[in-house]
């Protein structure tokens, strides 16, 4: 995942248009598989709010949560299906910036994400801790910090490292990195890898074999 920096690419600008901030709206900060547009839309499809799926897709933006928020992203969540996924763990001593996306949700979609993230707890994120990466003039960032919107993320109720029984699965990792590549190129993907901890030799290459 090395190579020349490609964070501020034409593709990134296309995937993250200007934010449409509304007072009192709910936003989710996603930092794992949800970065992938396909994964995001799989949950948004069928949301009862009028026009909800299209609105949320157009409002997604690539952001970074500051280390001052006190979280570290690591392989620490045991999914019910038997693999280890990424999660956030509170650790002010070793906290690092966490990249991801924010997207707006309505009440129906918010409940859908609550159901999707079983085993995780929804917690509020300070808007002041979020920095929009595609915003050279700081306009969207200032708006983000000045509104009364609610920003949420999901953290594991319990943290456990990967084991032989609950390994890191290649297919899950592929979804996370594919989302980074589609939204920010190789630099965003490289930064995701660099700022994710607890990589393990308990890893399963569960990708289908080529025929």
- Rounded distance between C-alpha atoms, residue 8 and residue 29, angstroms: 20
- Using the predicted structure, report yes or no on whether residue 50 has a pLDDT greater than 50: no
pLDDT at 6: 34
Strand partners, 150: 26
Across the range 5-15, mean pLDDT stands at: 34
- Rounded distance between C-alpha atoms, residue 99 and residue 134, angstroms: 12
State the pTM of this model. Answer: 0.81
Structure tokens at 71: 């979280």
pLDDT-derived band at 123, boundaries 50, 70, 90 = very high
Strand partners, 87: 74
pLDDT-derived band at 150, boundaries 50, 70, 90 = confident
Residue 85, phi then psi, degrees to nearest 5: -110, 175
Q: Which of 188, 163, 152 is nearest to 12 (CA)?
A: 188
Higher pLDDT, 142 or 179: 179
- Using the predicted structure, report yes or no on whether residue 196 has a pLDDT greater than 60: yes
- Rounded distance between C-alpha atoms, residue 109 and residue 107, angstroms: 6
pLDDT digits (tens, 9 = 90+) for 86-120: 999 999 999 999 999 988 888 888 988 998 899 99
Q: How far is CA 79 from the centre of its chain?
A: 16
pLDDT at 204: 96
Identify the weakest region by mean pLDDT among 4-13, 14-23, 144-153, 197-206.
4-13
* Neighbour-count burial of 148, counting CB atoms closer than 10 A to its CB (0-12 exposed, 13-18 middle, 19+ buried): exposed
Across the range 50-54, mean pLDDT stands at: 44
pLDDT at 167: 97
Residue 185: left if φ>0, alpha if ψ -120 to 50, beta else—which one? left
- Rounded distance between C-alpha atoms, residue 7 and residue 189, angstroms: 9
Higher pLDDT, 121 or 111: 121
């Amino acid at each position: 995942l090395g190579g020349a920096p490609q964070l501020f690419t034409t593709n990134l600008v296309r995937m993250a248009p200007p934010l449409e901030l509304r007072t009192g709206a709910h936003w989710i900060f996603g930092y794992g598989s949800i970065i992938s547009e396909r994964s995001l839309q799989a949950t948004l499809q069928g949301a009862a709010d009028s026009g909800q799926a299209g609105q949320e897709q157009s409002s997604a933006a690539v952001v970074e949560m500051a280390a001052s928020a006190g979280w570290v992203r690591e392989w620490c969540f045991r999914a019910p299906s038997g693999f280890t996924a990424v999660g956030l763990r509170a650790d002010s001593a070793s906290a690092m910036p966490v990249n991801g996306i924010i997207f707006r949700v309505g009440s129906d979609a918010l409940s859908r994400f609550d159901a999707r993230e079983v085993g995780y707890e929804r917690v509020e994120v300070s808007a002041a801790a979020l920095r929009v990466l595609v915003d050279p003039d700081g306009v969207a960032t200032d708006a983000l910090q000045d509104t009364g919107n609610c920003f949420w993320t999901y953290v594991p109720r319990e943290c456990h490292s990967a084991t032989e029984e609950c390994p890191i699965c290649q297919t899950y990792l592929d979804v996370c990195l594919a989302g980074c590549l589609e939204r920010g190129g190789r630099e965003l993907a490289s930064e995701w890898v660099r700022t994710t901890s607890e990589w393990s030799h308990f890893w399963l290459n569960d990708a289908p074999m080529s025929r």
